[in-house]
Chain A
């Protein structure tokens, strides 16, 4: 464990806590893409299959449980909670995310560390996480004004993988045999997808103005 990865995990946890706060405090999920949340739930479920077979550390196990439980709770809430589901922007959240599922799965069948069930699903979860934010970013562009908590949520979500890139650079310097090409290249793509969001987020922060994404 190194500081970059720890900060990355904490940033990821903060983004989830912000989303839970928004949904719990405002009883609303306006501006949040259910499709992105469903993709994240699938990312965690397919990545943490080793939850009960490989014990790495208490921290690792606890964080995996938190990520799985929170992502499922958010999806459940957005689908079933009477107040929350009414505020879901169904007509704006129209990204065809099934293509993302299919593309990630096909890529995982081609590119993986080992052709084994758990490894192919692990690679699938890595590729899927890289593109899972797309429905959310498209929804933000369509909904125009972005409320504060949603903006913070997406910002921390993008920042976490950026910190992981520093973690991979650090681990490479510590041990040149350390290569995680699949995670690293996907992480770069994932962070790059946030580039324009980060730009408009920075502009809104500099001008102390509301976050506006161009349509």
Chain B
């Protein structure tokens, strides 16, 4: 899972 503040959403 991407780390917490990785913004993987648009």
Binding site for B on A (CB under 8 A): 5, 9, 12, 47, 50, 54, 56, 60, 63-64, 67, 113-114, 119, 122, 164, 167, 175, 178, 180, 183
Contacts and interface: CB of A to CB of B under 8 A. Distances in A.
Interface of B: 1-2, 4-10
A9 B10 contact: yes
Contacts of B1: 175, 178
Contact of A113 (B2, B4, B9): B4
Contacts of B6: 54, 56
A70 to B, nearest CB: 13
Contacts of B2: 56
Contacts of A63: 10
A85 B9 CA distance: 33
B8 to A, nearest CB: 5
A185 to B, nearest CB: 15
Nearest to A1: B8
B10 to A, nearest CB: 5
A67 B10 contact: yes
Rank and list the top 4 A-B pairs by shortest CB-CB distance, nearest first.
Answer: A113-B5, A56-B8, A63-B10, A9-B10
B10 A119 contact: no
Contact of A5 (B4, B7, B9): B9
A23 to B, nearest CB: 22
Nearest to B5: A113
A50 B10 contact: no
21 contacts: A5-B9, A9-B10, A12-B10, A47-B7, A50-B7, A54-B6, A56-B2, A56-B6, A56-B8, A60-B8, A63-B10, A64-B10, A67-B10, A113-B4, A113-B5, A114-B5, A119-B5, A122-B7, A167-B9, A178-B1, A183-B9
